[in-house]
Structure formats: structure tokens, C-alpha cells
Amino acid sequence: MIPGRRAWCAIALAVIASGAPCGSAAADEPRPPAGLVSGEPARGRALDPVFAYFAFDRLRCQFSEDKHVALLARPLHSTGTIYFDRARGIARITLAPRPQAAVLTATSLRLRTADRTEEIPLDKTKDLRAFALIFPTLLRGDRKALEGAFELGLYGSAHDWWALALTPRAASLRALVHRVVVIGHKAELVSLQIAEASGDTTDTQLTAAVRDAGVSDAEIATAFGAP
């Protein structure tokens, strides 16, 4: 059965929640200051120094993620690896609590488990496409494309701790996703947060980044599967 619009966006949440370049924040490293995302954000050309950090051809990083669901006493925890390739998109390889591969390209979303593969075209809804492609677009540094679907605001400073907030412009997408916030320290992204309109939230910590030439052709082929 083909899922409806809300199900599509829920699947996209599962894929792109960790689709960002990663810092190397360990337990003993500094954390974002309290109140970082507060006050009036900077806009326009003030965002240029942050977008200058995004010029990746490839990236591999580890993720550790907690999804807080209102009806559950404990968050849903998952871990795994994220791959980005400029020509292919993003692959999220979840190792725990159960193995799953989710591959997001410019045109489709493909989910693989041990016994099933499902492919969903992104042209089914404008909202799904705009939301699902946030992080591939961000990693390419394509600010103009992001601003077509999201209002962007910058908190903090690109020279220290900063947070880039993306708020959907369309009411139909705001009914699903309240805001996405990407947090970084200078040139490194450290974490991201997704706040759904339902009240559920996803918090993702990003570590052990390897970029560009450090990510081999073989790794990309394995992560994305056959072209």
C-alpha cells in the first residue's frame, strides 16, 4: 500500500533527521550555550558565513538519535552511519535497534530491510520533496533552493556556536513540521533538532566525520546500492 502524505513525511523524517555534516563532539567537549536559539535571528546576507562551510562532495559520519514521542515514556533510540554523496544524495544506515537502510536521492526515497525494499517517488507531494531534500540541499550550500521552501534564521555567530533554523513557508508543511534547527560550532555541525507539529521531537548527535576524499568509492557503492 502506498502511504499517504503524513506517512510520506514521517518516512522522510526518519531519513533526513541525521542527514548533515558531522562534528566530533565527544562527552568532554563543550556543548552549545543555553539559550542559543533565542531572541531575534539574523537573516539575509548574515547567513553567508555559515553557508560557506557547506561545500562537500562526500561525507561519512556516525549518528546517535533520540526521538521523543508524546505517548511513549522513553525516547526511541537509534544509531548508525550517514553517507552523503553530491551526485547520489544521502544514505542513512541504521544499525540499532534493527538494521535498515534508507537512501534519499533527488527523485525518490528507498527503504531497505532484510526482507523488503520499498521505493517512494518524491514527486508525489511538494511538501515531501521540500522537506526530504533539506539536508542534501544544505550540504551543497544551495541557500537559494532552501529559501524557496523555508524561512531561514541564524542564531549565534558563525565564528563560534551557531544555530540555523528552518521554518516551513507553506501552511501544509507547517501542519507537519514546526521547525528544523541545525546546530554547529564554527565549521563543524554538532547536532540537529526536528520539532514536529504533533509535539514529537527528534534530537540527533553527530560524530566521527570523514569528508570528501576520505570516503572511498567502495563505501559509497555499498551504502547506496546499485546505481
CB 179 within 8 A of CB 196: no
Question: C-alpha angle with apex 13: 137 to 98, nearest 5 degrees?
Answer: 120
11 or 18: whose pLDDT is higher? 11
| pLDDT surpasses 90 at 49 | yes
Q: Work out the number of other CB atoms within 10 angstroms of the CB of residue 13.
A: 19
| Predicted pLDDT of residue 7 | 43
Q: pLDDT digits over 151-193, tens only?
A: 999 999 999 999 999 999 989 888 888 999 999 999 888 898 9
Element containing residue 112 per DSSP (H, E): strand 108-112
CATH superfamily for 5-25+43-224 is: Lipoprotein localisation LolA/LolB/LppX (2.50.20.10)
| Predicted pLDDT of residue 119 | 87
Write the CB contacts of 71 (distance below 8 Å, at least 6 apart in sequence). none
Return the SS3 of 226: coil
Beta strands in 146-226 (DSSP E): 150-156, 161-168, 177-185, 188-196, 201-211
Angstrom distance (rounded) from CA 76 to CA 13: 14
Phi, psi at 186, each rounded to 5° = 55, -120
The domain ranges of the chain are 5-25+43-224
Write the CB contacts of 222 (distance below 8 Å, at least 6 apart in sequence). none
**Average confidence (pLDDT) over 43-61:** 90
| pLDDT surpasses 50 at 144 | yes
Q: pLDDT digits over 95-134, tens only?
A: 999 999 999 888 888 888 888 888 888 876 677 777 777 8
Grade residue 41 by pLDDT with cuts at 50, 70 and 90: very high
- CA dist 128 → 3, 14, 17, 200, 201 (Å): 12, 12, 14, 18, 18
Q: Work out the number of other CB atoms within 10 angstroms of the CB of residue 46.
A: 14
Return the SS3 of 4: coil
| Predicted pLDDT of residue 38 | 93
| Predicted pLDDT of residue 139 | 84
Give the predicted TM-score (pTM) of the model. 0.83
DSSP states of 6-70 as a string? HHHHHHHHHHHTT-S------TTS--PPTTSS-SPPB-GGGGHHHHTT---SEEEEEEEEEEE-T
**Average confidence (pLDDT) over 142-156:** 93
